[in-house]
A and B are shown apart, each in its own frame.
Chain A
């Protein structure tokens, strides 16, 4: 959505990947810097600044509001990790919190008119591969390398291992990208309705898409971020427990 769309309406539907901002060559390999990369770095920068602001100048007894907020956030994540994985996996808290924060801000960045970072398959695949490496590491650490390799005697296990990151990444990507496409289709349809009645300004585009956006952007983005971290925690926990 561009700002001009609010006055003229959406006249044609364009659906494609993220736009390429610029590209450069590294030893003959062409590297494209897309919208996704720029917005991701902006989110990383924003989150870093937010965390630095919240944890700046901490006292043993909180006197400032921001320290209370920071403590509340850390406690919530710690309790979630403890309830789902158990007391001894407390060290996973920061990873889970970072994943959740970047996922939810990556999805909700569409609310201010930018392209969702998670509507790019590269982003979700990266996160899924990160979680996949952690799950496999946990498995190797529990069973030893011999026991880990022994589990692949049954070739069906290879498929079930590989399908973990594929299904995790496709679920997240599909939900957010689907929501994005449906939202643009709704704008297109409502503009067409306004033009058919004979109105120059698309009045139907005011308000009606916001209700649907509540489900497709807010609820779906939050839900997928939550499910992504829940699945990561459950997989790691079940990889660590011996039967």
Chain B
């Protein structure tokens, strides 16, 4: 019974952790939109803009990835089962 409770709470926690995916989604969409605007204004600088955009996107993505790692640990490693 206790085990089932811990597993259920871990699954709910993993789901809650992934709410953090909203932030990077909005941020990356915003960054890509601005990059498209910049390329539209100055097509000759598209290489530099694209490179900078990818780095910015990857940095913005990191919060989402932290949440993803937490969710994966909660789902597959089940750290709280050992605490019973």
Contact = CB atoms under 8 A, between A and B. Distances in A.
A177 B76 CA distance: 13
A138 interface: no
Nearest to A230: B55
Interface string B44-84: 00000000001100110110011011001000110000000
B62 A167 contact: yes
A170 B59 CA distance: 11
Nearest to A175: B65
Contact of B65 (A13, A174, A231): A174
B58 A227 contact: yes
Interface residues of A, number: 18
Contacts of A173: 69
A177 B72 CA distance: 10
Interface string A165-187: 00100110111011001000000
Given A15-B76, A181-B76, A223 B58 contact: yes
Contact of B69 (A177, A224, A227, A231): A177
The number of chain B residues touching the other chain, given as a range, is: 10 to 19
A170 B54 contact: no
Contacts of B72: 15, 177-178, 181
Interface string A228-242: 001100000000000
B37 to A, nearest CB: 23
A171 B65 contact: yes
A113 interface: no
Contact of A224 (B58, B66, B77): B58
Contacts of A198: none
A178 B69 contact: yes
Contacts of A231: 55, 59
Nearest to B70: A174
Interface in A189-243: 223-224, 226-227, 230-231
A227 B60 CA distance: 12
A155 interface: no
A174 B77 contact: no
A170 B55 contact: no
Contacts of A177: 69, 72
14 contacts: A13-B76, A15-B72, A15-B76, A170-B62, A170-B69, A174-B62, A178-B65, A178-B72, A181-B72, A223-B58, A224-B58, A226-B54, A227-B55, A227-B58
Interface of A: 13, 15-16, 167, 170-171, 173-175, 177-178, 181, 223-224, 226-227, 230-231
